[in-house]
Structure 1
């Protein structure tokens, strides 16, 4: 895949970039290793000042980088601005809290005595150079939610971003440089996917984090396992959105639309499978379908656009294959199900709701990365849990119920990294984020995320 900015709203190639040569990659690896030796010795106050400076720059430049993101991958301009602001907030969150999250931990004196010592504590130390392999769908946020905690912990970063967002990738490297981070602390590598293995195997790289597809996660995990290097993987999702009889149906239906079509439907944590209890199914289905059909599909740069294009022509083709497979096997299209008739350019697809989906259909098991929802009818709580868990993924889940006992059951039984009641899944610096099953392992954000790339070192003193 070429490293290029291709506007998904028009299909026009705007700018292409040459991949780094082996010598250029080597220079950046050497620079990263040298930077870590010095940067790891800085104090939290110094790192926090640098991170706040980066946040301030990002806020100041939010309109400019938002236009770049929209041009490169098609999210609406309003969503792109919101993403930039969210990243700045996360940077400040870690700048304020990293020192406390990584403070030394002391066992009880009794436990130390039982170990035969007179004192002991746990110290968190950075691992070193961390390779980040990141996707295009949230081209700022996916990177910052790794970079903010990793840099605040004293690590340094190498970013291999998706090949269709090169300008955003270069902006990120430049952002941290202009904020005052030492040379080599955070660098962008303009390389193709085929070059990732060589970088990951380099002994100067200590660990890796990847957000992306399941095949990409498997490939990185395989190499990292062979090299015995730590990884964090955040992969696909097919999140359930469950609506029970006690739910506020008006709110549940309206939130469902946002949960499915955020980022033009291209989000791993977007709700994708909508499970409505038999008692409210028809009412919810009508409200949800009407609201999906009313969305405005169009130019993501224009005010009033709800859904922009998919990021690539192949991405739209993949989505169409899933819908065509489902309809060929008996699924009913309640709305959408095709390219907009007025769109002559760009990779647009109408917001779509499919009913009558069965396990024989690919979309029942595979992630639909676009504005396509599948609607199911469930008889009771047990049926809802069973169907929600009938997926190889386990990233997050959404449940609409005001029944405390139902909330207890869902929280205990849903196989997912998160359970969100009466709202939609969201990532926030204060809450750990990640999945189970084929959605990956490890956690980003919160204290869990900053600890992922730290060495928990036991320091023990004998008598």
Structure 2
């Protein structure tokens, strides 16, 4: 298993894949550790989560550079990702006891009835490469805090990040086996998930991968949480602050090289402000710097892998062939590495990739609509339902529009983002279940009723 720096084409490191025997030992260790870990008081778990945050702080630069080398994330954004993981740890170190406090219920005189939240056991996580630390940590931290143990199958191009996350929990003082990385290919996941020692699974990734995991889990009656990407609408109404919408929109589309499930992808703009918004949006996108991801001034680095850029460009070409107009960008940059510039498409025909597919890179599809109802109709005209961003100076109007959009989260006058304090997840083909906050930590617990006579 090799990792290749997408910016240079150089091999970063080679790793030995885990054998079937290695995986079996990891599962046995997870089961044994769970029997002890579940009995550790919540306050002690919180203290260990806090210690994991300290390990992240102490090694912040090292982890950021590792991410940048493995998948091309600009170093400033990699540092921000490590810091967000610290915030995640701080949040659950403070709030786990509150989130898992027993809930009492009405009962007959002389009895007490309550719901307690017990851990389920080893939880398998299948995670993507685009946010190598955040995606894995937002799974691990709440589930470990709840008393579960974790098994991580990370993307094959970020094994160094996967092993570093395992080391974070080891250095923080978690027991051996509380969190383990499995260096295996995707073809091994069915066997791991079907193993009786694994009690649940979570996946962030593609629709086909999510359906495969859900199918295997369903056959074995195991709980799953799936986050399967999106084609998020960015709705600009006629009373929006155009400068703010354009500035935020350029970043919402292009941060992390546009490789984000909750990136703004379809810009749906009221016809009265369409021209003004497009002009400002072009200015903001053209001002972004594409370059060496290790340079602090770089906004957009390479795409994570060459084949991913080729797939993205094919989607652009198919859309142009169907009649879409390229305003800026639209061609890979003439330099070493899979660098793709900020690209804006307009006049997008129905049914072309820029209209119906998720474009996982720095390509924005811009649509003009006649009114608010048309904006909502266009926003909902997708198989996805992860996030949405709505721009209007009238907050009451924004909240009304938000309730009519099919998405797991909607942000008014802000880009869509995940936050440890609020639930995160989607609907329709964007998956089901929630991560983060109280809802996230309770996804993989046994809500046990205890009746005392």
1:16 equivalent among 14, 30, 41: 14
Q: TM-score, normalised by structure 1?
A: 0.96
1:142 equivalent among 125, 131, 135: 135
Runs of at least 5 residues in structure 2 that lack an aligned partner in the other structure:
none
Aligned residue in 2 for 1:100: 98
Note the C-alpha offset of 1:240: 0.3
Note the C-alpha offset of 1:407: 1.6
Aligned residue in 1 for 2:374: 383
Give secondary structure in 2 for the equivalent of 1:18.
coil
Give secondary structure in 1 for the equivalent of 2:104.
coil
Note the C-alpha offset of 1:12: 2.1
Aligned residue in 2 for 1:359: 350
Q: Deviations over 1:100-151 (max 9, x none)?
A: 100000013xxx12xx982210000000000010000000000111111000
Answer yes or no: is the 8 Å Cα contact 2:34–2:148 preserved in 1: yes
Give secondary structure in 1 for the equivalent of 2:307.
helix
Give secondary structure in 1 for the equivalent of 2:387.
coil
Q: Is 1:322 paired with 2:315?
A: yes
Instruction: Output the CA distance in 2 between the equivalents of 1:178 and 1:419.
Output: 37
Note the C-alpha offset of 1:405: 4.4
Answer yes or no: is the 8 Å Cα contact 1:335–1:353 preserved in 2: yes
Give secondary structure in 1 for the equivalent of 2:125.
strand
Runs of at least 5 residues in structure 1 that lack an aligned partner in the other structure:
none
Residue range with higher mean Cα deviation, 245-254 or 401-410 = 401-410
Give secondary structure in 2 for the equivalent of 1:295.
coil
Equivalenced residues, count: 453
Instruction: Output the CA distance in 1 between the equivalents of 2:413 and 2:27.
Output: 46
1:403 equivalent among 394, 397, 400: 394
Instruction: Output the CA distance in 1 between the equivalents of 2:277 and 2:354.
Output: 21
2:28 equivalent among 13, 27, 30: 30
Aligned residue in 1 for 2:451: 460
Q: TM-score, normalised by structure 2?
A: 0.99
Q: Deviations over 1:71-90 (max 9, x none)?
A: 00011000001100110110
Aligned residue in 1 for 2:64: 66
Give secondary structure in 1 for the equivalent of 2:226.
strand
Q: Deviations over 1:1-28 (max 9, x none)?
A: xx22111112222222121011111111
Give secondary structure in 2 for the equivalent of 1:419.
strand
Alignment of 1:19-418 (within 5 A): 19-108=17-106, 112-113=107-108, 118-341=111-334, 343=335, 345-418=336-409
Answer yes or no: is the 8 Å Cα contact 1:11–1:347 preserved in 2: no
Given the superposition, is the C-alpha separation of residues 348 and 117 from structure 1 closer, same or farther in structure 2, using an over 3 Å criterion? Answer: farther
Note the C-alpha offset of 1:412: 1.6
Task: Please tell me the root mean square deviation across aligned C-alpha atoms, in Å.
Answer: 1.0
Answer yes or no: is the 8 Å Cα contact 2:12–2:70 preserved in 1: no
Instruction: Output the CA distance in 1 between the equivalents of 2:430 and 2:45.
Output: 32
Note the C-alpha offset of 1:49: 1.3
Answer yes or no: is the 8 Å Cα contact 1:209–1:231 preserved in 2: yes
Instruction: Output the CA distance in 1 between the equivalents of 2:141 and 2:15.
Output: 27
Answer yes or no: is the 8 Å Cα contact 2:395–2:412 preserved in 1: no
